[in-house]
Structure 1
């Protein structure tokens, strides 16, 4: 799965442990609308019906999760938004791409646990900034992501493909084996009142 090929250079993908409409509301979409299948059609539909702005598209996933996608905005990646999505003992993950960066942030129980550098399979920053004893972090390091200062992933996390690291992290945290088919819709979405 090549997200850059699918979405271009600016995108944000978030997995939240909430129902679809609740997730969109928590991300600032007041009036979500069912959209035609296909992201291109959905974006045009929302622009025609809600005007211009930062669009968030979402769809339900197995296990009570919601997948959202944004283009040229990173609302799901904002720490406050992600912590809200991860409140009450839950975990959420959001990954974004701008021309220079591919990073995922993991939050649990209302707090950011760390950022994964998807191009390298390691936690960003020195090891003392990541609680390596936290069960969520341990589940990621058990899959090969490196939370030490060495920045040397192993196993499945030792890949040159950022999408491979994202798919692995999503599978570890949510149990969802994310595939290209998961982005085919149908979608529900709208304009977010806050853009990042």
Structure 2
């Protein structure tokens, strides 16, 4: 599992946000405020090339299918906040029996946030295991199964991959959604467009 788990900080650096949503790429983008959707380059780095994250909104969102149900949405412009971290966006992306989940990274922090059935969002810091929100028993047990302790991380009960917290973030996303992201999910049929959503 260690060799197959992506490290997005190694691939993309410290500034990114990814969302997993149980809907098509087009539907996810529209829910996230994109009106005009166009094909993007298969190489995500080139899709974002030339974008200045300090320019503010509108920001570019890129989406691709993961399977027949799930899509991944990526963004790299955080000057006005990550679109995928909006509580209203996550609750809108969730559907009955399926969660929506977002992870974001910047030089100072890395967090995962998820929403079950349009309920109040929950969050976790993969490095410390600090949690907030109304966790369901299913979410608690799913995190336990991939190696996260129930309480704060300690030397006796560490989180998985304590020295690679971006890997830990994707383990959280896998526990919550059942999706294990792989390299092939990050290349291929990207579509996207500009979203003017800003931080609440």
TM-score, normalisation: structure 1: 0.81
* Helix, strand or coil at the partner of 2:36: coil
CA distance in 2, matches of 1:40, 1:168: 23
Report deviation, 1:193: 2.5
CA distance in 1, matches of 2:130, 2:107: 20
* Helix, strand or coil at the partner of 1:64: coil
Match of 1:168 in 2: 171
Are the structure 2 counterparts of residues 59 and 45 from structure 1 closer, same or farther at C-alpha, using a change threshold of 3 Å?
farther
Verify the 8 A CA contact 1:95 1:104 in the aligned structure 2: yes
Report deviation, 1:130: 4.3
Match of 2:143 in 1: 140
Q: Is residue 31 of structure 1 aligned with residue 39 of structure 2?
A: no
Q: CA RMSD in A?
A: 2.6
Moved more, 159-168 or 72-81: 159-168
Match of 1:10 in 2: 15
Verify the 8 A CA contact 1:38 1:186 in the aligned structure 2: no
What aligned pairs does 1:1-196 form with structure 2 within 5 A after superposition?
1-44=6-49, 53-73=58-78, 74-120=82-128, 122-125=129-132, 129-131=133-135, 133-148=136-151, 150-152=152-154, 154=157, 157=160, 159-196=162-199
Q: Deviations over 1:149-178 (max 9, x none)?
A: x43495873532112212222222333221
TM-score, normalisation: structure 2: 0.80
